[in-house]
A and B are shown apart, each in its own frame.
Chain A
Amino acid sequence: MKQYSEHNFEQCTKCTVCTVYCPVAAVNPLYPGPKQAGPDGERLRLKGVAYYDPAIEMCLNCKRCEVACPSEVRIGDIIHSARIKHSTKRPGLREFTLANTDLVGSVATVVAPVVNATLGLKPVRKVVEGVMKIDHRRIFPKYAFGTFEGWLKGQRKAQALYAKQLAYFHGCYVNYNNPDLGKAFVKVANALGYGVQLLEKEKCCGVALISNGFVEQAKKQAKTNIKSITKATEQKLKVVATSSTCTFTLRDEYDHLLGLDNSAIRDNIDLATRFIYELLADGNQRLEFKSDAPHLRVAYHSACHMERMGWTKYSIELLKLIPNVELVQLESQCCGIAGTYGFKKENYETSQNIGEPLFKAIEASECDVVSTDCETCKWQIEMSTSKRVLHPIEILASYL
């Protein structure tokens, strides 16, 4: 039966429930809200460009409206597609710097100690705010000295010894900022009998490019990734990513926002926690945990794109399998950072206001550590609370 409109925005019944769950509308009274910016606006925009309201660009693309929508309207996609189509804002130096995570990262990792120290200095942060309109209160993620790719290349022979193999989409964050997460993933994969390879060529997934208005460059990088993943798929290599946002972008945004056909590879892209949980749930695979591991109270934060992917439960169930880990599930809400959104001076207040209830819940949870699958949530939570944030894979690896 073909009951429903193929024009996704028309499935909206105007129940207005999305507006309740929009983190931006909750704190920013200027934002038109997901219903107006999305399905209502889309119908009007068909009348002409005069109906395009630049205020919709305040959307941070968390897609919580889509999770809330009982009619499967892809509200966030509608808003972002409209933005891609109509926005007249030209991205500047700031957007270029924030969006080109791999270009900036590859430079920064070479001189990491200097960059970290410099970006940590108050006067420098003031200059960055003045020149770049990046809020001076924002703490930059530290760059690592040397990339993850460089490290894994050194491991090539050791990894090749494993009978089973997988390809790891590490993402920019692991490569330039936190190779330790990548190493933790390799440790877990190895413990499960998998050797870890790089993709033939990995480019930044492009999520920051899309949100900063570099759509053509995002498409170019996406095509490179699709090609590499296609090759891995042909070689029967599962492609696994630790970052929930990279995973979501590769699986869904390529098709929905960039209009690229990824249908042949979509099912072969998996999130690390899901991949590992399913191996363990089958009962054929087991992990040997340390017998003397300390007790750890972990508060799990479900990132927006994790929520949109619907895979939160995999990370939670995986963490629950670890002996001596006591899990607290935080109520799912946006932390406010939304990738590069919270870095921009004009969004800083909104960003922190959105995150406020989450920060309070984290402090109240009396956890030892917060865990999340998203790196930008990690930056936001570490900057805004007293807690350290670890990826579930890092926690898992430390118990092996």
Chain B
Amino acid sequence: MNNQYDVIIVGGGATGAGVARDCALRGIRALLIERADIATGATGRNHGLLHSGARYAVNDRESAEECIKENMILRRIASHCVEDTGGLFITLPEDSLEFQAKFIDACRAAGIGAEAIDPKQALALEPSVNPTLIGAVKVPDGSIDPFRLTAANVLDAQLHGAKVLTYTLVEQLIIESGKVVGVKTLNTLTGERGEYRAQITVNACGIWGRDLAAKAGVTINMLPAKGALLVFGHRVNNVVINRCRKPADADILVPGDSITVIGTTSSKVPFDQCDNMVVTADEVDLLLREGCMLAPALEHTRILRAYAGVRPLVASDDDPSGRSVSRGIVVLDHATRDGVDGFITITGGKLMTYRLMAEWTVDLICKKLGVAVGCTTAVAPLPGSAEAEKVSKSCKCSVHCVSAKASVENRHGERAKDIDNSTAAKRALVCECEQVSVGEVEYAVNCLGVKNLIDLRRRTRVGMGTCQGELCAARAASVMSEVAGKSAAEAKADLKSFIGERWKGMSAVAWGDTLREGELLSWLYDGVCDLSNLKEQK
């Protein structure tokens, strides 16, 4: 039977993708089902910080140890997703240097290299850092691109035989004699319904896992904690800057690719808001105020957009801030916990530990399936990260322009060689801010499961630059319609929704140049193109 698998994984975040990959590498037939695109939940809505673990060292040694171990692993297996920026924990005049001492001890105890340096040295290392700092500690933080990471996991899973369905909603779990034996699905793009069966179904839905569990009659107590972040227009800092104090709001500034992110806030939100996160003016205020403490230049830096994610915390106590909840990994075997066979929930944890979460989950799956193959994800490089050092020399992808070549290699590692930029027409740049060529768009559509412009953005950074799609959105829509064989009506509707999505993030920070850009966006797409009068297409 075509629809029979060993394991069905529901949820296409980093964890779900990691589980699918781990299964595939161990020869387990896996099906990954995601209701939207990959990395649309909490995975794609965080700092993109490659934690050294230092942040947790004082309060949560276990998390800290997990982090530093995974940090070292990710540098090897996901080198094209990781940037070794290094990190600073700075002490400001209002912070205590006593905490710094405690912090260094805790880091060392957890195996994290932490070295106190002179404030002057810190300024030389990272000129944007608040010059009033009184102390600084160097740690092995870095940045990680969660979209790239998830896409690489999905790609590797597919290369090893896993099947991936995006835009597929699990409407129902098929339960037979108290055992979950499969899922009933709805393709939200085509309206097609499907049925897939497997011995084990894994719930990797993050905060939405509560709802999936409920379909199996299982209760998981979760605490949706919203975290808002701001994206600045360019790389303000080259080294991650943290505040050396008890973890609090908006005290991490992470450079990632061509931008810098500040975050996060933390507030409890009702479940019904998890699908519609709106960043409030108060959150923007707080992020800016605290961000400027880390790097004063932020006060006058253009803010591209605001976004928010929901942490899938498993409630262990009633702390409303959701902060002192352990970020520990939670694997729930519902057979032993609730008497529901064939159903496993993997939750808690964090982006940093996605691989470990997958390993633990697949270990449990193997035990249940009687598979005796060990985990290799800690050593096997992801597609794009193989022989990373040789990429730029051996890469055959010929891009005319130096910055476009550097950009495509940065995004796809050695996989850049699979991108056909052999002709001038394919080298033509669709997105000029982020240097995305027609060839790269084709590759993303053909090989990376891109269904629409927003998916394309996650794989290629189309529309993530200064103009947020103002210049490139219509171009990208037109190229997509040709490459993906979309009808003009579908492509226009896609364009309309892409512009809407870009503006959603801009509107919370729309003043100064961002408002100017927004006005241009509105003039062009609502005015000149007349997209708001686009008739709804079926």
Contact = CB atoms under 8 A, between A and B. Distances in A.
Tell whether any CB of A sits under 8 Å from a CB of B in the complex.
yes
Contacts of B513: 3-5, 10-11, 13, 71
Which size bracket describes the interface of B in this complex?
Answer: 20 to 34
Contacts of A47: 235, 257-258, 406, 410
A40 B392 CA distance: 22
B517 A13 contact: yes
Contacts of B470: 13-14
B432 A5 contact: no
Contacts of A3: 511-513
B466 A44 contact: no
Contacts of B224: none
Interface in B3-34: none
A54 B517 CA distance: 29
B340 interface: no
A44 B435 contact: yes
Contacts of A6: 297, 300-301
Interface string A46-77: 11101111110000000000000001000000
A47 B300 CA distance: 20
B61 interface: no
A237 B401 CA distance: 50
A4 B512 CA distance: 5
A352 to B, nearest CB: 25
Interface in B65-122: none
Contacts of A55: 401-402
A54 B466 contact: no
A35 B407 CA distance: 17
Contacts of B407: 44, 51
B516 interface: yes
Interface string B252-286: 00000110000000000000000000000000000
A14 to B, nearest CB: 4
B401 A53 contact: yes
B163 interface: no
B403 A7 contact: no
B45 interface: no
Contact of B465 (A43, A46, A71): A43
B300 A14 contact: no
A16 interface: yes
B218 interface: no
Which size bracket describes the interface of A in this complex?
Answer: 20 to 34
Interface string B203-240: 00000000000000000000000000000011100000
Nearest to B472: A14
A32 B401 contact: yes
Interface in A8-35: 9-16, 32, 35
B467 interface: yes
A390 B233 CA distance: 48
Contacts of B234: 7, 9-10, 43, 46
Contacts of B516: 13, 71
Contacts of B511: 3
Contacts of B401: 32, 36, 53, 55
B258 A10 contact: no
B405 to A, nearest CB: 9
A89 interface: no
A36 B434 CA distance: 11
A2 interface: yes
A259 to B, nearest CB: 15
Q: Which of A39, A47, A54, A55 has the most CB of B within 10 A?
A: A47
Interface in B276-321: 297, 299-302
Nearest to A30: B400
Contact of A41 (B257, B297, B403): B403
Pairs of residues from A and B, 4 with the lowest C-beta to C-beta distance, nearest first: A14-B467, A53-B402, A6-B300, A10-B302
Interface of B: 233-235, 257-258, 297, 299-302, 392, 401-403, 406-407, 410, 432-433, 435, 465-467, 470-471, 511-513, 516-517, 520
Interface of A: 2-7, 9-16, 32, 35-36, 39-41, 43-48, 50-55, 71
